[in-house]
A and B are shown apart, each in its own frame.
Chain A
Amino acid sequence: MPTSLLTLKPQPAPRGRWTEFITEALIRAAGYSAVLFVGLILLFLLREGLPAFAEVQVTDLFSARWYPIEAHFGLLPLISGSLIVTAGAVLIAVPFGLATAIFIAEIAPRWLREFLKPFIEVLGGLPSVVLGFMGMLVLAPWVRETLGTPTGLTAFTGSVLLAGMALPTLVSVAEDALDAVPRSYRDAALALGATPWQTIWRVTLPAARTGVLTATMLGIGRAIGETMTVMMVTGNAARLPDGPAALFLPVRTMTATIAAEMGEVANGSAHYHVLFTIGIALFVISFVVNLAASAVVFQQKKRSERLLS
Chain B
Amino acid sequence: MTRLLTQRLAFALFTLATLATTLPIVLIVAYIVLAGGPAISTEFLTAMPRDGMRAGGLWPAIVGTVLLTLGTGLIAVPLGVAAAIYLAEYAKDTALTRAIRIAIINLAGIPSVVYGLFGLGLFVLFLGFGTSILAGCLTLAIMTLPVIISTTEEALRAVPQSFRVVSISLGGTQWQTIRRVVLPQALPGILTGVILGLERAAGETAPILFTAAAFFLPRLPGSALDATMALPYHLFVISTQVPGMPITLQYGTALVLLVFVLSMNLIATLIRSRARARRQW
| 8 Å CB interface, B67-108 against A | 78-80, 82-83, 85-91, 96, 99-100, 102-108
CB–CB A30/B79 < 8 A:
yes
The segment from A54-62, A181-189, A287-295, A299-307 found at the interface with B is A287-295
Q: Kindly state the separation between the CA atoms of A125 and B22 in the bound complex, as whole angstroms.
A: 13
Q: Which residues of A contact B3 (CB under 8 A)?
A: 195, 197-198
Q: How many A-B residue pairs have CB under 8 A?
A: 288
Q: Kindly state the separation between the CA atoms of A113 and B277 in the bound complex, as whole angstroms.
A: 17
Within the complex, which residue of B17, B82, B164, B204 is in contact with A103, where a contact is CB–CB below 8 Å?
B17
Q: Kindly state the separation between the CA atoms of A60 and B269 in the bound complex, as whole angstroms.
A: 51
One digit per residue, 1 when the CB lies within 8 angstroms of any chain B CB and 0 when it does not, for chain A 226-247 equals 1110001000000000000000
CB–CB B100/A34 < 8 A:
yes
The segment from A70-78, A116-124, A141-149 found at the interface with B is A116-124
Q: Which of A8, A45, A196, A259 has the most CB of B within 10 A?
A: A259
Q: Closest chain B residue to A217 by CB distance?
A: B109
> How many residues does chain A have at the interface if contact means C-beta atoms less than 8 Å apart?
96
Within the complex, which residue of B142, B161, B176 is in contact with A37, where a contact is CB–CB below 8 Å?
B142
From residue B170, how far is it (CB to closest CB) to chain A in Å? 10
CB–CB B111/A226 < 8 A:
yes
> Can you give 16 contacting A-B residue pairs, CB < 8 Å?
A11-B172, A12-B173, A20-B176, A37-B103, A37-B145, A44-B122, A99-B14, A100-B17, A125-B203, A195-B3, A224-B111, A225-B112, A232-B236, A232-B240, A262-B116, A294-B105
CB–CB B108/A33 < 8 A:
no
CB–CB A197/B90 < 8 A:
no
From residue A277, how far is it (CB to closest CB) to chain B in Å? 10
Given contacts A27-B82, A34-B146, A47 and B121 within 8 Å (CB-CB): yes
Does A16 interact with chain B (Cβ within 8 Å)?
A: no
Q: Kindly state the separation between the CA atoms of A67 and B133 in the bound complex, as whole angstroms.
A: 33
By Cβ-Cβ distance, the 6 closest A-B pairs, closest first, are: A225-B111, A31-B86, A127-B203, A99-B17, A30-B82, A197-B7
Within the complex, which residue of B24, B103, B169, B209 is in contact with A259, where a contact is CB–CB below 8 Å?
B209
Q: Closest chain A residue to B98 by CB distance?
A: A298
Q: Which residues of A contact B28 (CB under 8 A)?
A: 126, 130-131, 134
From residue A163, how far is it (CB to closest CB) to chain B in Å? 9
Q: Closest chain A residue to B15 by CB distance?
A: A103
Q: Which residues of B contact A28 (CB under 8 A)?
A: 86, 90
From residue B89, how far is it (CB to closest CB) to chain A in Å? 5
Q: Which residues of B contact A11 (CB under 8 A)?
A: 168, 171-174
CB–CB B172/A283 < 8 A:
no
One digit per residue, 1 when the CB lies within 8 angstroms of any chain A CB and 0 when it does not, for chain B 166-205 equals 0011011111110000000000000000001001101111
Does A201 interact with chain B (Cβ within 8 Å)?
A: yes
Q: Which residues of B contact A116 (CB under 8 A)?
A: 18, 22
Within the complex, which residue of A24, A34, A44 is in contact with B90, where a contact is CB–CB below 8 Å?
A24
One digit per residue, 1 when the CB lies within 8 angstroms of any chain B CB and 0 when it does not, for chain A 1-32 equals 11011101111111001001001101110111
